[in-house]
Amino acid sequence: MTTPDMKLGDSSLKMKRGVSEHQRRQVLDLRRRHSLREVAEATGLPLGTVKTIVSRSGVFRDNEAHRTLFCLPPITVSAETLPSVPELPPQQRVTGDKEVDAVLWLRSVIKTGNSAHIETALAAAKRIKTPLDELEKRYSHLLSDADPGNWAVVFKTIGFANLEGLARSAIADQHAREEGRARFGDRAMFDTDAEVFCAEVLDGAKIGQYGSIDEADIAVRFKGRPDLMPCTLADCLYELDYWHKLYRLRCAFCDSSTDAEGPQEASSREHFVFGLLAEIRPRHKDEAKAVLRYLVASDRRDTADANRIIENLIG
């Protein structure tokens, strides 16, 4: 005779008796690469049983420990992080052409990133009689005449007339600097905890072709730390966004984008996580759509990995 308590737990009892530990592990392993229905067909288990095993495992939930590590510091506003009003740069005689030199000075004013200075500079540019495109050509000729045969100097004049574009870029850089100071203080260029983690995991890793870290060894080492692995596609997108934001904030403090890239181990981790988008199965349509939106917006949509990712999303 069964008691009410036994009836209450009857379904879970049946599942425990009917599914071996080997089958449970097989289900979880297959689920990483296949849909729930495909897993059910491959294992011969009822679809409902497969769903229960996956749900109770917790393996396919967002990894909070992972998200805690790959997270920018919170914004802290203080007197030290508040932006100061920069002084106007001095006017200089650069080429001897008054109008060209005036535009060069206005460009230096715009590069301060100060909104008030930028507004004044753009207004002043409208009062210059000669069209800016013509001044750009004059500037190019002046540089070529000063250094004949050096074609590289011509590239310095590209975008010379596009003050509006320069203003947008300067304002974005200024906002990034302000955010970087509010998040990191004076430590924006120091290794983050996430970068230290990457360096520790890949310490002593095999070196592959062209001096880069061996991709197979990268995968083995990071997968050897499941506690800090992305468990879902949402986790992958979260970490990729972390690396993108960190790079963007650092670029505002650097003279070149190369200086903002961080250690090689961090770049290896970012590339590894991007590859996981082709391995981890989407939990639902919204997650698959989020990955597609990421691909469309990124500069990686035409790569071989992108094709594998799309196949994973629709397969």
Q: pLDDT tens across 164-190, in order?
A: 999 999 999 999 999 999 999 989 999
Final residue in a domain of this structure, among 134, 169, 184: 184
Q: Which residue has the tokens 């289900």?
A: 27
Residues 37 and 137 in one domain: no
Total-model pTM: 0.76
112 falls within a domain: yes
- pLDDT greater than 60 at residue 2: no
Residue 2 lies in a domain: no
pLDDT confidence of residue 267:
95
Q: 286-290 contacts: CB < 8 A, separation 24 or more?
A: 287/232, 287/233, 287/234, 288/233, 288/313, 288/314, 290/233, 290/234, 290/237
| Position 3 in a domain | no
**Residue 177 located in a structural domain:** yes
Residue 90 lies in a domain: no
Question: Do residues 164 and 203 share a domain?
Answer: no
- Same domain flag for 141 and 277: no
195 and 310 share one domain: yes
275 inside domain: yes
- Between CA 201 and CA 220 the distance in angstroms is 10
Which of 178, 33, 231, 298 is CA-nearest to residue 239?
Answer: 231
State residue 302's pLDDT score: 80
Q: Decide if 286 is inside a domain.
A: yes
Share in percent of the chain as helix, strand, coil (round to 5): 65, 0, 35
Among 92-101, 136-145, 251-260, the range scoring the smallest mean pLDDT is 251-260
- Give the structural domain span for 173: 98-184
Weakest mean pLDDT among 92-96, 219-223, 226-230, 256-260: 256-260
Residue ending a domain, among 135, 159, 184, is 184
Q: What band does 156 get if pLDDT is binned at 50, 70 and 90?
A: confident
Q: Are residues 45 and 23 in the same domain?
A: yes
Question: What is the number of structural domains in the chain?
Answer: 3
* In a domain? residue 91: no
Residues 197 and 294 in one domain: yes
Is the same domain home to 226 and 193? yes
Q: Identify whether residues 198 and 263 lie together within a single domain.
A: yes
Residues in the chain: 315
